[in-house]
Amino acid sequence: MAEVTVTPQSSLADRPVRVRVRGLSPAQLVTLRASLTDEHGERFQSRAFFRTDEAGEVDPGRHAALGGSYAGLWPMGLFWFLQPDTLFRRLVKRDVAGSPFLVRLEVFDGLRLEAGPQDQPLASCEAQRWYVAPGVQRSPIREGRVRGALFLP
């Protein structure tokens, strides 16, 4: 039975995480996809194609992607190469303190450029990517023409 894990499951957006897929057949071709929906309802996705190792596992930190949104050894590639479904959209986080981005990771059998609604992932999980650590206070600054925010501590 396939399993996708992200360690740690909840982390700051600038911190690395480890993505692992287990429980697959050796030398199996799979597609690992990351997706999120931003605060405006825009969807962003990335995907990478992998061949599992002799233990039936994929670790983007140890195994190079064969193609997709990127190729080669990029441990955080699924997060760094997120692209909008609608052209010319940018991934922007407005509510940095109130909620995280929820990134859904899924693994599919074979090489998939697009996964339709009928395609069920072999396994999936969700990662929380926060922009402000717990306990940090945000104070807006408005002085003359200056606008900003002060984050304490």
pLDDT tens column, 72-103: 999 999 999 999 999 989 888 888 888 899 99
- With 0-12 / 13-18 / 19 or more C-beta atoms within 10 angstroms meaning exposed / middle / buried, residue 57 is middle
Read off the tokens for 133. 């650590």
Share of the chain above pLDDT 90, in %: 75
Instruction: Please give the Cα distance from 143 to 57 (Å, whole number).
Output: 54
Dihedral in degrees, nearest 10, Cα atoms 86, 116, 29, 129: 50
Structural domains of the chain in order of their starting residue, each with its CATH number: 3-152 (2.60.40.2240)
Other beta carbons within 10 angstroms of residue 76's beta carbon come to 14
For residues 45 and 55, what is the distance between their CA atoms, to the nearest angstrom?
Answer: 28
Band of residue 54 on the pLDDT scale cut at 50, 70, 90: very high
